[in-house]
Structure 1
Amino acid sequence: MGSFIYNNQNYTFEQIKTGNWFVKDEYIDQTLAFCQDWLNGKEEFELQTSGSTGTPKKITISRSQMEVSASATQSFFKIELGSKILVCLNTQMIGGKMMLVRGMNWDADIYLTPPEMNPLQNFDKAQKFDFCAMVPLQVEACLADKDAREKLPNIKILIIGGAPSSADLIDRIIQSEINAYQTYGMTETVSHVALAKIEGIELVYRILPDVSIGTDHENRLWVEAPMAKEKRLQTNDLVQLIDMHSFKWIGRADFTINSGGIKIQAESLEAQLGKYINPIYGDVSFFVIGQRDQKLGEKVVLFVETSSKEEKKAQELLTELKGKLQKYHCPKNIYFLPEFVKTDSGKINRTKTSQICF
């Protein structure tokens, strides 16, 4: 039988089932309250979507959906019962809750830590984990810290989700020889339905057992999965199907920028920009979006999360981009903000962030 470990306190599943935990703080109370409901057989759970591409909404997820998802992940990675897992995501969101469900269903030793930027800072270098999920910002923070960087390889399987990993992050993961996978999924599919091993810049996603995929006439992915309520879930993700079991993700259809009749995928363009932005501004967050333009219909504009607004740096970047990118792909303006608007799960809310400047 597995257990929960928090601040060097161990709790058996039976203790959590009866509500018998000693530490009292908001994080542990909210986290273990969900686990108590799960261990006592609760059948339905109300969750909120992230809101990164639209208005957040509440949806009801069934126990069976979550169990199917946990089982599919276990089968994909061949994870044994009694493994050690690290839960460092926000446990109020689907990603964190599914880590808890996996741990309980796998009879695992579940190490809990609040969703900090560097979740490995409270563990020593001898601590090993069989499985862990992080968002890209957490992986970046760990790679930037010498001690944490040395601990990352102690995670046997690391899955990264919540947002796409940048080309620069992917390269650093490969150089650090970390066994990591990028996830593809959404709240409606109860976490991921496909995973891509990070072993090259171009990621190839492979679906979980019993999942089916295809595309509509606009090359938007549809998913049929036993962990989803809908028989067929039509996504707004543009993909390149490789075969009936794998695909390459291109970007969100609703992030497509139509500039002068040229369709530009925001995420594809962003993957090219990091190598030009980072030497000037450092390891900062950024994104591109379409801004209404009388002549072009939409023009590409760049948002950079930094307090530095030096005109010289901005001109240096624009000059560099003009010499490297196609005409319509080159940002026409750069907006600088000290902090982007984020969703509860840590994703950049592009719409609300851009509204600050537009």
Structure 2
Amino acid sequence: MTSPTYENVHNQFKLNGFHLTREDLCRVAYSFIKEGEEFEKPVGDFLLDWFDSKSYIEMETSGTTGAPKTISVSKQAMVDSALATGDFFELQPGNKALQCLPVKYVAGKMMLVRAMILGLDIEFVAPSSHPMRNNEIDFDFVAMVPLQAQNSIAELKKVKKLIVGGAAVNKTLEKQLMKLSTEVYETYGMTETITHIAARKLGEKAFTVLPHITISYDDRSCLVIHAPKISDEVIITNDIVELVNENQFIFLGRIDNVINSGGIKLIPEQIENKLMSKIQQRFFIASKPDNELGEKLILVIEGDKVEFDHSIYEDLDKYEKPKEILFIPKFKETTTGKIMRKETLV
């Protein structure tokens, strides 16, 4: 059996209920660009890029592994990524999928590629913070960012499998999602890995990598990804991990966020997890320069100033307790809802 290529469209692929061939999709693409709604124009652009004579697509990186830049991504690598997702989540031709992510970014592009390669029946809606509002359809597979998942709790009973990515799933949202009958996974990935290379079923601690991917870590304890079908080069991340085995890892935090306070290295994400159930507003752990400690640990909270009892720190170790609380009216964030820590503090 020959492996699918980017030149083929699965014979069971449907877009908004219509069977479409490669030729049909090119016609649809022109129509989207000329007469489509604002969210449909990037779909048209992507389809024309996908079916042109080049073997690659140009994409902007998110800056996870360094400064944001434009990279060329092999179309066949995108196909292989789609096949790995299909295997991992046991997707079948004819499964109903929802596309509610902007196609400008890799996650939105890959939902469309998965549909064309795996033969999914994909429904397009305008990307919004409430993607399932007024929805009457049952879906087998949906991808969302955390804010969309948060706003769709009531409607998610109509979804069998949901993947959530683009930003971390906080403990409060995780508890809400685990009460549903929906199978929900947090994904791990970046543009360089063509969206996710691993997923964690909510309730489990470790991420499990997709087929044909192995992992290790470097001398900084940061994750190193070996994905020969997706990238010719080994991908070195800035994510501190604990390796369970060559297929599983526990995400601890970003090395860029590590705080050295009086010679003690502190990982903000681990402290944030301990505080998650104690603070209702959005918050993060950061630091300020300090003459004595080098860096002083601070707690940054979004919204108006409120008084906190020191009991919120009861689960923290001695060195993990913030020395100061800073209130900021509105956090700066990425389009996927990820808090931009450094920019917020400027």
Residues 171 and 276, structure 2, Cα contact 8 Å, conserved in 1: yes
Map of 2:13 onto structure 1: 2
Superposition map of 1:19-38 within 5 A? 19=29, 21=31, 24-38=36-50
Residue type of the alignment partner of 1:255: N
Classify 1:52/1:349 alpha carbon distance in 2 versus 1 (closer, same or farther; 3 Å).
farther
Residue type of the alignment partner of 1:138: Q
Answering whether residue 46 of structure 2 is matched by residue 49 of structure 1, we say no
- 1:137-188 per-residue CA deviation (whole Å, 9 max, x = no partner) reads 1111222xxxxx1x21321111111111111111111122330111111111
In 1, the alpha carbon distance for the partners of 2:316 and 2:61 equals 35
Map of 2:324 onto structure 1: 333
In 1, the alpha carbon distance for the partners of 2:233 and 2:181 equals 39
Ranges in structure 1 where 5+ consecutive residues have no aligned partner: 144-148, 279-283
Answering whether residue 212 of structure 2 is matched by residue 245 of structure 1, we say no
In 2, the alpha carbon distance for the partners of 1:72 and 1:206 equals 12
Map of 1:263 onto structure 2: 265
Residues 195 and 206, structure 1, Cα contact 8 Å, conserved in 2: yes
Map of 1:69 onto structure 2: 81
Classify 1:227/1:183 alpha carbon distance in 2 versus 1 (closer, same or farther; 3 Å).
farther
Structure 1 residue 339 displacement after superposition: 2.3
In 2, the alpha carbon distance for the partners of 1:187 and 1:164 equals 16
Answering whether residue 151 of structure 2 is matched by residue 141 of structure 1, we say yes
Answering whether residue 312 of structure 2 is matched by residue 304 of structure 1, we say no
Map of 1:206 onto structure 2: 208
Ranges in structure 2 where 5+ consecutive residues have no aligned partner: 1-11
Q: Percent identity?
A: 37
Map of 2:219 onto structure 1: 217
Map of 1:320 onto structure 2: 311
Structure 1 residue 40 displacement after superposition: 4.8
Residues 196 and 206, structure 1, Cα contact 8 Å, conserved in 2: yes
In 1, the alpha carbon distance for the partners of 2:313 and 2:52 equals 60
Residues 52 and 348, structure 1, Cα contact 8 Å, conserved in 2: no
Q: 1:275 aligns with which of 258, 277, 288?
A: 277
Residues 237 and 250, structure 1, Cα contact 8 Å, conserved in 2: yes
In 2, the alpha carbon distance for the partners of 1:11 and 1:39 equals 17
In 1, the alpha carbon distance for the partners of 2:315 and 2:55 equals 54
In 2, the alpha carbon distance for the partners of 1:68 and 1:190 equals 10
Structure 1 residue 340 displacement after superposition: 1.8
Equivalent residue of 2:284, what SS? strand
Equivalent residue of 1:96, what SS? helix
Residue type of the alignment partner of 1:69: S
Answering whether residue 20 of structure 2 is matched by residue 12 of structure 1, we say yes
In 1, the alpha carbon distance for the partners of 2:331 and 2:67 equals 17
Q: 2:158 aligns with which of 131, 149, 154?
A: 154
In 2, the alpha carbon distance for the partners of 1:54 and 1:321 equals 35
* TM-score, length of structure 2 as denominator length: 0.89
Residue type of the alignment partner of 2:180: S
Higher helix proportion, which one? 1
Answering whether residue 212 of structure 2 is matched by residue 185 of structure 1, we say no
Residues 93 and 345, structure 1, Cα contact 8 Å, conserved in 2: no
Name which of structure 1's ranges 265-274 and 331-340 shifts more when overlaid on structure 2: 331-340
Map of 1:286 onto structure 2: 283
Residues 100 and 126, structure 2, Cα contact 8 Å, conserved in 1: yes
Classify 1:42/1:109 alpha carbon distance in 2 versus 1 (closer, same or farther; 3 Å).
farther
- 1:72-119 per-residue CA deviation (whole Å, 9 max, x = no partner) reads 001112211122111111211111111111111122221112221111
Answering whether residue 194 of structure 2 is matched by residue 197 of structure 1, we say no
Residues 217 and 223, structure 2, Cα contact 8 Å, conserved in 1: yes
Structure 1 residue 20 displacement after superposition: 5.2
Equivalent residue of 1:30, what SS? helix
Residue type of the alignment partner of 2:248: S
